[in-house]
Structure 1
């Protein structure tokens, strides 16, 4: 399951980081520090999300 979660993290992490960067930019937080915080938060939030998705995929098999 760890290998599946690792593969999913590459996709989920980039997606969540991108979404939060877009939200930060649309909200008017357009300095580098806010953009980096949004990207970092997306990467951190993607960790449990990728494990949850991997667990759901394994349960469906």
Structure 2
């Protein structure tokens, strides 16, 4: 479980950053698109961390 939380912290931060960068590069202004992109990135971090932690654990 600790491995999952560690990977989730890294994955959600990276995916949220990618989403925010994409929103800003698209020229969308305001706080709403930035918050939505960060939330989607954090939500996508959950399954990514779960899959990565299970794959590492199975090794």
The reply to whether TM is greater than 0.5 is: yes
Give the number of equivalent residue pairs.
59
Unaligned runs of 5+ in 2: none
1:7 counterpart = 2:10: no
Task: Determine the structure 1 residue equivalent to 2:50.
Answer: 51
SS of the residue 2:27 aligns to = coil
SS of the residue 1:29 aligns to = coil
Greater than 6 Å deviation, 4+ residue runs: none
User: 1:2-60 CA deviation, whole Å, 9 max, x = no partner?
Assistant: 22111111101100000000000001112100000000000011001100000111112
What is the root-mean-square deviation in Å for CA atoms of aligned residues? 0.7
Q: TM-score, normalised by structure 1?
A: 0.91
Distance 1:52 1:33 in 2: 29
